[in-house]
């Protein structure tokens, strides 16, 4: 059976359609595989700043830039993976290839921390790091689109189910990520980095095995042909890959302003895996008399927030909203993204206020020039910014994935998923560049920001700068979203109109 992603225009025959909940019976295998893969990814990324600073002895600013560059590349490479999937191999084969590369990267990672000599460890570590991110980047855009492909396009019930699927898909990702922060981070810091990295390799092997177990349940869309292809002795894959080149260009141009307005979002996300973690390491982290929580584990609050929010949103809010809007998803995807973007400047404002409080406590206890000292302030002060980040992630990422899936041509859905990640990737690159620019400008003005001594790094000023940029980005998004026109995906007799007029739920168009 040649499982593929479905490039054909023709509809699936009745014999090929899954009955009842057939879409879920296939998608559940893909969801479980993705849950395990997220466990592996966040088992590395969540504590990467700690490994770079404590084990490889990089300065905090250098390590932060390296983390942001690596994370940015993780969001940019999906564009390559999407092109490979939509134009050459198909989503299924691309997932298999990427999983193998991904797994090999984790194996090299384990070797770099164990048998490689110390003077070569850093070089091999970065080779492994970028091997891993190539596999992860190529893998990422194909999985959720391949899972969504398991649901039928011409069924009203499946349209509602698919909208719900994106919420539960996000919950699965959060569950895998949260598990990694509870288990892998603890092992890395209290057992050994080698064992922690080894857990990632095992997780990826399990992920691939789960994915392959569901092979007999996936839709065989690659075998579907229409009347034109039926008359050919050799199938033309390029004709099936691109439905209408002119329309695709128009669709991309329509997405482009929305895509650009989300780039600044990554600026408010970048501190969660870098400066937030280093701030937490300077604060009181005790739980009881004998246990200190790892500062990287606090990122689990982001995922825990999403885990709690998803069922409430999907089972309560969406059903209530449907009664007023008539939309399967409750509110429009642009409204959902807008709510998340509205939270971005709030996250940075709260972060700035908390950091100012931490600096105040450090001054009171005369710890400004003692960066390794623990500031007598509980790490729980950081919880509000993590909680807001979790809420923002839930609204933005699910909204972006659903928007790019339902609005892109079928043959370009992997590319659509990759583009929404690509915006974040550019934002993380921008974050690395901003750190360098802020350091140079502040040094010329008298005192360097973002130095190794966090007590004198003026992180609160940096957060206020990000808050201003995020607020500007939100205003641009609202202006652009008001004039956005949707592709009609539900009724052919109703023209697409403007769907978002305000973030408060008022709508003029139909999804």
344-399 tens-digit pLDDT: 999 999 999 999 999 999 999 999 999 889 999 999 999 999 999 999 988 888 88
Tokens of 409: 């041509």
Q: Which of 42, 29, 36, 35 is nearest to 203 (CA)?
A: 36
> Does residue 380 form part of some domain?
yes
DSSP 398-456: HHHHHHHHHHS-GGGHHHHHHHHHHHHHHHHHHHHHHHHHHHHHHHHTTS-SS-S-GGG
Alpha-carbon distance 381 to 280, whole Å? 9
Task: Give the pLDDT confidence score for residue 446 in this predicted structure.
Answer: 80
Q: Residue 366, Cα to own-chain centre: how many angstroms?
A: 40
Which whole number is the average pLDDT over 327-334? Answer: 84
Alpha-carbon distance 415 to 405, whole Å? 9
> Does residue 310 form part of some domain?
yes
Percent share of the chain, pLDDT over 70: 80
Strands 375-378 and 283-284 come out as parallel
Between vectors from CA 420 to CA 419 and to CA 421, what angle results, nearest 5°?
Answer: 90
Task: Give the pLDDT confidence score for residue 25 in this predicted structure.
Answer: 74
Using CA atoms of 350, 353, 357, 363 in order, give the dihedral in degrees to the nearest 10: 140
Alpha-carbon distance 504 to 511, whole Å? 16
**pTM > 0.75:** no
Specify the number of domains making up the chain. Answer: 1
* CATH code of the domain covering residue 263: 1.20.1250.20
Task: Give the pLDDT confidence score for residue 252 in this predicted structure.
Answer: 61
Which whole number is the average pLDDT over 446-459? Answer: 89
The string of pLDDT tens digits covering residues 473-490 is: 899 888 888 877 766 544
Q: Who contacts 111 (Cβ-Cβ below 8 Å, separation ≥6)? A: 124, 128
Task: Give the pLDDT confidence score for residue 381 in this predicted structure.
Answer: 95
Q: Which of 212, 213, 172 is nearest to 38 (CA)?
A: 172
> Does residue 495 form part of some domain?
no
Tell me the residue range of the domain where 103 lies. Answer: 22-222+245-482
Lowest mean pLDDT among 142-146, 299-303, 466-470, 495-499: 495-499
> Does residue 328 form part of some domain?
yes
Which whole number is the average pLDDT over 430-446? Answer: 87
The string of pLDDT tens digits covering residues 98-125 is: 898 999 999 999 999 888 887 888 899 9
Task: Give the pLDDT confidence score for residue 228 in this predicted structure.
Answer: 43
> Does residue 40 form part of some domain?
yes
Q: Where are the alpha helices (DSSP H) in 262-299?
A: 265-269, 275-281
> Does residue 5 form part of some domain?
no
Using CA atoms of 329, 302, 256, 132 in order, give the dihedral in degrees to the nearest 10: -120
Q: What is the DSSP letter of 12?
A: P
Give the burial class of 75: count Cβ atoms within 10 A of its Cβ; 0-12 exposed, 13-18 middle, 19 or more buried: buried
Residues 375, 358: contact at Cβ < 8 Å? yes
Classified as helix, coil or strand, 2 is coil
Lowest mean pLDDT among 59-63, 260-264, 440-444: 260-264
> Does residue 227 form part of some domain?
no
């Amino acid at each position: 059976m040649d499982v593929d992603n479905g490039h054909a225009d023709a509809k699936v025959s009745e014999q090929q359609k899954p009955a009842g909940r057939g879409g879920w019976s296939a998608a559940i295998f893909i969801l479980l595989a993705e849950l395990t893969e997220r466990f592996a990814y966040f088992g590395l990324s969540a504590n990467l700043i700690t490994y770079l600073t404590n084990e490889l002895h990089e300065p905090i600013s250098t390590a932060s830039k390296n983390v942001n560059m690596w994370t940015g590349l993780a969001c940019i490479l999906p564009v390559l993976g999407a092109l490979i999937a939509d134009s050459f191999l198909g989503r299924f084969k691309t997932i298999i290839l990427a999983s193998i590369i991904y797994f090999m990267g984790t194996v090299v990672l384990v070797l770099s921390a164990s048998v490689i000599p110390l003077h070569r460890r850093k070089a091999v570590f970065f080779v492994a790091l970028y091997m891993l991110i190539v596999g992860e980047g190529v893998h990422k855009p194909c999985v959720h689109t391949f899972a969504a492909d398991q649901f039928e396009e011409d069924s009203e019930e499946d349209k509602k189910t698919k909208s719900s699927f994106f919420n539960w898909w996000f919950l699965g990702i959060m569950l895998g990520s949260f598990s990694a922060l509870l288990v892998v981070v603890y092992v890395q810091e209290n057992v050994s980095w080698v064992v922690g990295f080894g857990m990632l390799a095992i997780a990826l092997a399990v992920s691939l095995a789960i994915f392959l177990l569901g092979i007999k349940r996936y839709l065989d869309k690659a075998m579907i042909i229409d009347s034109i292809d039926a008359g050919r002795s050799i199938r033309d894959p390029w004709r099936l890959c691109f439905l209408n080149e002119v329309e695709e260009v128009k669709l991309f141009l329509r997405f482009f302003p929305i895509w650009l307005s989300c780039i600044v979002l990554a600026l408010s996300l970048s501190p969660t895996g870098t400066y937030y973690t280093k701030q937490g390491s300077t604060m009181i982290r005790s739980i009881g008399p004998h246990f200190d929580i790892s500062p990287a584990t606090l990122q689990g609050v982001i995922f825990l927030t999403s885990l709690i929010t998803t069922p409430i949103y999907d089972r309560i809010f969406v059903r209530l909203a449907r009664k007023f809007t008539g939309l399967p998803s409750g509110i429009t995807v642009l409204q959902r993204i807008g709510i998340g973007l509205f939270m971005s400047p709030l996250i940075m404002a709260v972060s700035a206020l908390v950091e100012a409080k931490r600096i105040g406590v450090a001054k009171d206890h005369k710890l400004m020039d003692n960066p390794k000292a623990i500031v007598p302030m509980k790490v729980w002060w950081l919880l509000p910014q993590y909680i807001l980040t979790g809420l923002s992630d839930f609204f933005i990422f699910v909204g972006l994935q659903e928007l790019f899936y339902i609005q892109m041509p079928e043959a370009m859905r992997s590319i659509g998923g990759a583009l929404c990640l690509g915006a974040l990737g550019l934002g993380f690159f921008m974050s690395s560049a901003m750190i360098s620019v802020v350091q140079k400008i502040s040094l010329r003005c008298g005192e360097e920001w973002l130095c190794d001594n966090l007590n004198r790094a003026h992180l609160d000023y940096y957060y206020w700068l990000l808050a201003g940029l995020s607020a500007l980005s939100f205003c641009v998004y609202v202006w652009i979203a008001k004039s956005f026109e949707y592709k009609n995906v539900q009724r052919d007799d109703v023209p697409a109109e403007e769907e978002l007029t305000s973030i408060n739920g008022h709508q003029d168009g139909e999804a």
